[in-house]
Structure 1
């Protein structure tokens, strides 16, 4: 296919409102946008030729100036716990990993990526060590969910934007993707079953608090002592913990929604008594739930998970302090599909 380089804009970068405007510019009735949207995200069309209720001339024009790029699964692995990991390659060879997590109660959760790679550089994260490639379009984010539905043969019930990338550094496309997932006419995943995870980008937290949808917010905290957090999460060193807490308090006041604080526990790094006291102090006044996560180890890393006894002590102390806390054991660690392990490694071609 020959593309007009001056005009090219992949069709999956458009929101429904932008598609409606595009149809006007192409002298088409506005309802064509809804038809096109449904082909992309309800029927998961792989080419314009499948969109038989669109005029042939429109399909031909769209295929030249607004290409429909389709991603490919270049590797897949299944964990002994049933978790599946897919390495997905896009048209420009950018790659991401997405993880499908089935539950015994019938739920199917997708951990999707919002960027190819990540610029945050967290010292304990395999993705951060790989560096940043580019932002994903809304369609590329949604496509990860569609791939899981097709591969797993069942409807996705929950989505967590906790894969590769910092969602708030790709805010517009990420929110557009979440709205497609939430749309009752399309994937119809409840807003409260969709979680957005951030390292603590203050502007993104502020913006999310003004959005009408009730998406869930999770914050990768990992340390409540500033110097420790700066060391292990250099990408957010400019965002002081005091300002982060202020932003979270404002978010909670606006939305009346509980936030989740993610805390990957690392032996002799962020798990001593002072760290615990700092976390309890940080949580004071916040409507929050704390997830304690034993660090998932990666190759050539100086970090190791906290001891079981330490995890248990923290769990008891936090709950005793009135802070609802869970120890979350990540799924898929045997296939490097758990939190912090995603690095686009291809094992099986």
Structure 2
């Protein structure tokens, strides 16, 4: 881990101090108040970290030396080590990070698709991880092949965004929790990370530009709906009926399609953002046109948006993607009902961009060395 807290900014691999990237302004205000300061000091520190990109507490000249020393005594600013960056022809970049305990996680930087006139929007989306591995075992996903190791801390979630901004020299405008792990299974740390991401004192992204994707943890979907600062929601659906979804999503045995859509309707009743139904098209598994019709009916009733994704080949899994022609037919079947539908020809196919693939390769290489 990179440690920027000391006067010299020298590297430390492990620190017992708290990583300030996981601290909210309210947390920091409480800290300063308990040490004779005020919320003013918290405001200035957050301004220095997230607006001025200061990475050494000793360089924050808007607070006195007393409080700079206090920060150095109690906190660090740590970013994960970048082990590998894979760039692709479409400028998507995949980052493999190593955490302080030697574990690996992945994040992906996805620039906006060029517009029809050849220009490119300024949108920069980062797909972040929320756990090391995953316990939910979605059958198309490489993240769960090695099981769940642990949750990421709030700081480890935020540090992915900060590290990518610094490395790429691009300003992140959108965040999607679609990387490794099930975000809602790490709700406490996720919720705090969301506060930092959308806080005007933090990364200051518009709530509508932040999307949490879940495999379908019904109780936590309801809890997410009750956040004061609401964010967007995407559901890793991949089957419109229990019979089909059971083949792909083990979580469906705990909360079936009907229970899931009950929770989605509750979320929709509290949130102005349209829910996205993510549907990976897998040949011979869930790509029948009957599924397209049922999916369209459910999406229309929910007022949801359907995002179709041709299967991205994962080493170690035998499933295949349907032909482009069949994918388009499935899309057109859904779209014909009036449901807003897109088909994502995924970026980064040439850089192992499916969740967990780069991590698995690195783990295998490490084990063999």
> TM-score by structure 2 length?
0.85
Counterpart for residue 117 of structure 2: none
Counterpart selection for 1:81 from 87, 90, 96: 90
Counterpart for residue 214 of structure 2: 198
User: Is the CA contact 1:102–1:109 (under 8 Å) kept in the aligned structure 2?
Assistant: yes
The 5 A counterparts of 1:106-121 are: 106=121, 107-121=123-137
Counterpart for residue 77 of structure 2: 68
User: Is the CA contact 1:70–1:91 (under 8 Å) kept in the aligned structure 2?
Assistant: no
Counterpart for residue 311 of structure 1: 327
1:210-237 CA-to-partner distances (Å, cap 9, x unmatched) read 2232421111101122133223221443
1:106-152 CA-to-partner distances (Å, cap 9, x unmatched) read 32111111222222111211111132222222332222222222222
Counterpart-to-counterpart distance in 2, 1:216 and 1:142 = 18
Question: Relative to structure 1, is the Cα distance of residues 118 and 44 closer, same or farther in structure 2, using a 3 angstrom cutoff?
Answer: farther
- Which 5+ residue runs of structure 2 have no aligned equivalent? 1-11, 115-119
User: Is the CA contact 2:242–2:252 (under 8 Å) kept in the aligned structure 1?
Assistant: no
Q: Does the residue aligned with 1:12 lie in a helix, a strand or coil?
A: helix
Counterpart for residue 207 of structure 1: 223
Counterpart for residue 52 of structure 2: 43
CA drift of 1:267 comes to 0.6
User: Is the CA contact 2:212–2:232 (under 8 Å) kept in the aligned structure 1?
Assistant: yes
Counterpart for residue 155 of structure 1: 171
* Greater mean alpha carbon deviation, residues 57-66 or residues 305-314: 57-66
Counterpart-to-counterpart distance in 2, 1:40 and 1:173 = 20
Counterpart for residue 17 of structure 1: 26
Question: Relative to structure 1, is the Cα distance of residues 212 and 287 closer, same or farther in structure 2, using a 3 angstrom cutoff?
Answer: same
Give the number of equivalent residue pairs: 347
User: Is the CA contact 1:297–1:341 (under 8 Å) kept in the aligned structure 2?
Assistant: no
2:256 matches 1:240: yes
Counterpart-to-counterpart distance in 2, 1:54 and 1:306 = 59
2:234 matches 1:218: yes
Counterpart-to-counterpart distance in 2, 1:219 and 1:197 = 6
The 5 A counterparts of 1:132-171 are: 132-171=148-187
Counterpart-to-counterpart distance in 2, 1:34 and 1:291 = 40
User: Is the CA contact 2:43–2:201 (under 8 Å) kept in the aligned structure 1?
Assistant: no
> TM-score by structure 1 length?
0.89
Counterpart for residue 105 of structure 2: 96
Counterpart for residue 275 of structure 1: 291
CA drift of 1:325 comes to 1.1
Counterpart for residue 323 of structure 1: 339
Q: Does the residue aligned with 1:127 lie in a helix, a strand or coil?
A: coil
Question: Relative to structure 1, is the Cα distance of residues 133 and 50 closer, same or farther in structure 2, using a 3 angstrom cutoff?
Answer: farther
The 5 A counterparts of 1:20-35 are: 20-35=29-44
User: Is the CA contact 2:106–2:179 (under 8 Å) kept in the aligned structure 1?
Assistant: yes
Query: For the aligned residues, what is the CA RMSD?
Result: 2.6
CA drift of 1:346 comes to 4.0
CA drift of 1:65 comes to 4.1
- Which 5+ residue runs of structure 1 have no aligned equivalent? none
Counterpart-to-counterpart distance in 1, 2:134 and 2:79 = 22
CA drift of 1:295 comes to 0.6
Counterpart-to-counterpart distance in 1, 2:248 and 2:74 = 44
Question: Relative to structure 1, is the Cα distance of residues 49 and 279 closer, same or farther in structure 2, using a 3 angstrom cutoff?
Answer: same
Counterpart-to-counterpart distance in 1, 2:151 and 2:138 = 18
